Chains A and B, each alone.
Chain A
Amino acid sequence: EDKVVQSPLSLVVHEGDTVTLNCSYEVTNFRSLLWYKQEKKAPTFLFMLTSSGIEKKSGRLSSILDKKELSSILNITATQTGDSAIYLCAVGAQGAQKLVFGQGTRLTINP
């Protein structure tokens, strides 16, 4: 059975800190890994990763995939209170019509 595990489940840091969120997966015929940010309601798309070792970057957020380790990290530098959210990781398999989601990491940034 395909599985996605995120860690930590919860993280509290101070504004300005750098955080690293982890996502590991067990998926037959891996195709893609996606990161979403969920603040109050609708998850919003952040990144899709398909190739190992290639960093995707958007402002203070960046993510990289390691297919050898079956994992991905999401980095957020110089965190702001607006980064407080649940971060979801999802994985898709070749030929699959659906994504498998992890439990999410609840990130809280204190001023």
Chain B
Amino acid sequence: DGGITQSPKYLFRKEGQNVTLSCEQNLNHDAMYWYRQDPGQGLRLIYYSQIVNDFQKGDIAEGYSVSREKKESFPLTVTSAQKNPTAFYLCASSARASGSVYEQYFGPGTRLTVT
């Protein structure tokens, strides 16, 4: 069964704590992406990676960090520096690095609540 998995589905954290969201894909896709979704704002790009050991900042990278040590995995860490971390986080992947040509496939998302 090919697809993208994200865990956990729901995550609760206290302010000031770092938290890592998992994203794994078995589609053999080169590129992976992290988005944040807030009500009424669509999807905003946090980070993306075209290839193992390489990644680029998206539009709202401040307060987040990523790694891409394996092709299948692209974990996102929400650090205590992120001012408004409560949101719905979506991970996506596409077959090739040119995200404008190949459609992106999405995972089920992680809803993070920080209090």
Q: Do A and B bind each other?
A: yes
Residues of A within 8 A of B (CB): 4, 6, 9, 31-32, 34, 36, 41-45, 48, 88, 90-99, 101-104
Chain B residue with Cβ nearest A33: B100
A-B contact sample (17 more), CB < 8 A, given A9-B40, A102-B42, A103-B40:
A4-B42, A31-B101, A34-B103, A34-B104, A36-B106, A43-B90, A43-B106, A45-B104, A94-B100, A96-B99, A97-B31, A97-B97, A97-B100, A98-B58, A98-B100, A103-B41, A103-B42
Interface of A is mostly: strand
Q: Is the CB of B100 within 8 A of A93?
A: yes
Across the interface, do B106 and A42 meet the contact criterion of CB distance under 8 Å?
Answer: yes
Contact: A99 with B104, CB < 8 Å? yes
B105 touches A45 (CB 8 A): yes
Q: Of A42, A90, A98, A104, which one neighbours B48 at CB under 8 angstroms?
A: A98
